[in-house]
């Protein structure tokens, strides 16, 4: 309210009020208490009295309008505050629903692997210069993450943790040749090695190689982790897209399409520990 007395509206009201006071005084001095019909002074004073009555009505309406406007502004501000509160509650509710759905997606994995220790994380940055689609998550050593911890989504294997900071970590994906892991054909149990190549990464695929020439791997088969090294066994990796043989015609390899759409990842789970966690195999002949 103190700002109203400094406003242009208040100055207008004050000016009108002063004019009315002046008109009232002039009316009294000119007309006195005489009837307008009984003397010339009353005749002169009549227009001023009429003006006083008219302007007084205008002023009353104007002041009421200002008051109503201020009251409307206050109500609008209160309604806006209530609306903001409702928006916040709705946002919190949506976030809670998303979190519940996120955790529900991993319940089956947790039920089947009670030894897994999980840490949820959210993607905060992508390396646009990396053809293998590495990215950064919002968890680090303060959350118990360590180098080479396994990263998954509910759809399957994503990769592992590297470059661990206090509150962030980098994730190398299974499209990268930096990752080499033991893998199995889930239908035939044929074993091989899975690692990425630049050519396949451009297609969003990785490579399942060192397969025996007598293997029964077929297009459409599921490929899973064998449990050797840093990755737990049985994690879904992808499906076989094509099959070929190496240049020396001594072994078979397959192109594998990951179940996880790495380009669309928003949230992940990091497996910080599991029974039988071992060392890392890096590199190897491609």
Q: What is the pLDDT along the chain (286 residues), one digit of tens a residue?
A: 555 555 666 566 667 666 666 655 655 555 555 444 445 445 555 555 565 566 566 656 655 666 666 667 777 777 777 777 777 666 555 554 455 555 566 766 777 778 888 899 999 999 999 999 999 999 999 999 999 999 999 899 999 999 999 999 999 999 999 999 999 999 999 999 999 999 999 999 999 999 998 899 999 999 999 987 789 999 999 999 999 987 776 788 999 999 999 999 999 999 998 877 765 444 444 4
| pLDDT tens per residue, range 159-173 | 999 999 999 999 999
Q: Are residues 145 and 217 in the same domain?
A: yes
In a domain, 133, yes or no: yes
| Alpha-carbon gap, residue 96 to 99, rounded angstroms | 5
In a domain, 98, yes or no: no
In a domain, 93, yes or no: no
Q: Are residues 125 and 230 in the same domain?
A: yes
Contact 237, 83 (CB under 8 A): no
Q: What is the DSSP letter of 33?
A: T
Domain range for 256 = 116-286
177-191 b/e (C-beta count within 10 Å ≥ 16 → b): bbbbbbbbbeeeebb
| pLDDT tens per residue, range 224-279 | 999 877 899 999 999 999 999 877 767 889 999 999 999 999 999 999 988 777 65
Return the structure tokens found at 55: 């302007």
Q: Are residues 44 and 139 in the same domain?
A: no
**DSSP 3-state helix, strand, coil percentages of the chain (rounded to 5)?**
40, 25, 35
In a domain, 53, yes or no: yes
Structurally, the chain folds into a number of domains equal to: 2
| Alpha-carbon gap, residue 188 to 218, rounded angstroms | 9
CATH number of the domain that residue 135 is part of: 2.40.10.350
| Alpha-carbon gap, residue 137 to 225, rounded angstroms | 23
- The model carries a pTM of 0.63
Q: Are residues 184 and 279 in the same domain?
A: yes
Of 82, 106, 132, which residue is a domain's last? 82
In a domain, 111, yes or no: no
């Amino acid at each position: 309210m103190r700002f109203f007395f400094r406003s242009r509206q208040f100055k207008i009201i004050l000016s009108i009020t002063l004019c009315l006071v002046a008109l009232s005084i002039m009316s009294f001095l000119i007309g006195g208490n005489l009837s307008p019909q009984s003397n010339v002074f009353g005749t002169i004073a009549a227009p001023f009295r009429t003006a006083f009555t008219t302007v007084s009505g205008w002023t009353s309406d104007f002041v009421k309008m200002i008051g109503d406007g201020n009251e409307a502004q206050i109500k609008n501000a209160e309604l806006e505050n209530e609306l903001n509160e409702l928006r916040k509650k709705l946002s919190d509710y949506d976030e809670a629903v998303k979190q519940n759905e996120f955790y529900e997606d991993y319940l089956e994995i947790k039920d089947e692997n009670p030894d897994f220790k999980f840490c949820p994380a959210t993607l905060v940055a992508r390396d646009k210069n990396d053809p293998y689609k590495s990215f950064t998550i919002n968890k680090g050593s303060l959350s118990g993450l360590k180098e080479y911890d396994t990263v998954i989504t509910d759809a399957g294997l994503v990769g592992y943790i590297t470059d661990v900071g206090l509150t962030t970590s980098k994730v190398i994906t299974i499209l990268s040749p930096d990752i080499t892991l033991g893998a199995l054909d889930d239908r035939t149990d044929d074993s091989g090695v899975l690692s990425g190549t630049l050519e396949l990464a451009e297609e969003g695929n990785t490579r399942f190689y060192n397969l025996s020439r007598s293997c029964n791997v077929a297009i459409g088969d599921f490929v899973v982790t064998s449990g050797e090294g840093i990755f737990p066994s049985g994690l879904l990796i992808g499906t076989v897209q094509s099959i070929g043989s190496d240049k020396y015609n001594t072994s078979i390899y397959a192109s594998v399409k990951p179940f996880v759409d790495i380009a669309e990842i928003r949230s992940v789970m990091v497996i910080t520990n599991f029974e039988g966690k071992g060392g890392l195999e890096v590199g190897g002949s491609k």
